Amino acid sequence: MIILQKPNFLVIFIKLILNTNQTRNIMKAKRRFLIIILLFVSNIATFFISRSLYKNKKPEIVIAKQEIIPYVLDSTRYIGPVDATVSVLEFSDFDCPYSQKTHSEIQQLLQTYSNKVKYAFINLPLSLEPYKVNRAKAVIAASKQGKALEMKNILFKNPYEPDFECSDEFMIEEMCLLAQKLDLDSDVFKKDLQSSEIESILKEDLEQMTVFDIKSSPSVLINGYRIRGTKPASVYRSIINYLLKRS
């Protein structure tokens, strides 16, 4: 004899709720897992896309106020053919590590384009303390004896951070010692270093920075194309090649 029991609807309802909650929890767990996977894949994709864009990103190149720069520098301050159609003007500070790197890149370019490009250097001191001003003057004075590049190189290789306040007299003697190492005529160099002519040239250099909106060191002007900050040699090379093809 089979005895039929009345179904306990309360028990059935509770089991149904429990099963529903379990199902919801499983679905939530699946959704969370799926979201985590999607976020992970998205971050990986973003990383590689950003990396690719960064590699292909073009550096900031700004056209200066004049496309062709009216150079007014003395011819003795140029390196390379005077009649070159491409002119490279470097604004750097001898004691700035970024300027040192840019100067190194520019020197590599000069070796590649030695017969096609003329180059001039303008010191952009980050301050007008005596030791910085006299180092800037030293390059101009050395250019009078055809040793501007050699003086620049020796100053870049020897950043100067004095631990005391340097006087003009002290720095003049220090620059004269460097002039001796370069086999310059020390007497002529010292006289030039203190001359009003060199003082005037340095003032003109500082004025050039305003004319071409040079506000930071290093900066490079290539026939009016202004490149700010440290850039790889390929950036300068691409501009030079473009200008040479156009000339």
Query: Looking at the domain assignment, is residue 110 inside a domain?
Result: yes
Q: Does 227 lie in the same domain as 141?
A: yes
Query: Looking at the domain assignment, is residue 56 inside a domain?
Result: no
Q: Which residue range(s) make up the domain with 24?
A: 10-39
Closest-CA residue to 132 (of 92, 185, 97): 92
User: CA angle, corner 220, sides to 76 and 139, nearest 5?
Assistant: 35
Q: How many domains does the chain have?
A: 2
205-233 residue pLDDT tens: 787 777 777 778 888 888 878 888 888 88
Residue linked to tokens 């190194």: 104
Contact 227, 60 (CB under 8 A): yes
Query: Looking at the domain assignment, is residue 227 inside a domain?
Result: yes
Q: What are the distances in angstroms from CA 93 to CA 68, 99, 160, 162, 208? A: 24, 6, 11, 16, 15
Contact 153, 204 (CB under 8 A): no
115-130 residue pLDDT tens: 889 888 887 777 777 7
Query: Looking at the domain assignment, is residue 32 inside a domain?
Result: yes
Q: Does 195 lie in the same domain as 127?
A: yes
Residue linked to tokens 């440290």: 230
What does the buried/exposed string (b/e) look like for 85-104 if buried means 16 or more CB atoms within 10 Å of the residue's CB? Answer: ebbbbbbbbbbbeebbbbbe
Q: Does 124 lie in the same domain as 20?
A: no
Q: Is the pTM for the entire model greater than 0.85? A: no
Q: Does 30 lie in the same domain as 146?
A: no
5-51 residue pLDDT tens: 545 555 555 555 555 555 555 566 666 666 666 666 766 766 665 55
